[in-house]
Amino acid sequence: MTTLTVTAKGQVTLRKDLLTHLGVRPGEKIIVEALPDGRIQARAARRRGQISDVFDTLKRPGGPSLSIDEINRITADSWANRRS
């Protein structure tokens, strides 16, 4: 268990080990919920993305444009080589 100190301004600083446990890095946000029994629950705020955010993640400037058939052939060849 970790004990934290409340400052005169009513602020609390979370220790690095707690931030690491939450998977939070500088600049990221934490969601804190007040529970009815006087406790709080803290968790990392994860950005919710959309499927469209994934588009172009594998695109490389100047890289080749491949058709679906070419991608399927390359994938099949790759799996065939792994089985050998």
Residue 76 is assigned to a structural domain of this protein: yes
Full domain range(s) for residue 79: 51-83
Residue 17 is assigned to a structural domain of this protein: no
Domain count, the chain: 1
Residue 45 is assigned to a structural domain of this protein: no
Query: Which pTM value belongs to this model?
Result: 0.52
- pLDDT for 63 equals 75
Residue 62 is assigned to a structural domain of this protein: yes
The 3-state secondary structure of 37-76 reads CCCEEEEECCCCCCHHHHCCCCCCCCCCCCCHHHHHHHHH
Residue 33 is assigned to a structural domain of this protein: no
Residue 72 is assigned to a structural domain of this protein: yes
Residue 43 is assigned to a structural domain of this protein: no
Backbone angles phi, psi at 54, to 5 degrees: -80, -25
pLDDT digits (tens, 9 = 90+) for 3-56: 999 999 999 999 999 999 998 989 899 999 999 999 999 999 987 767 766 666
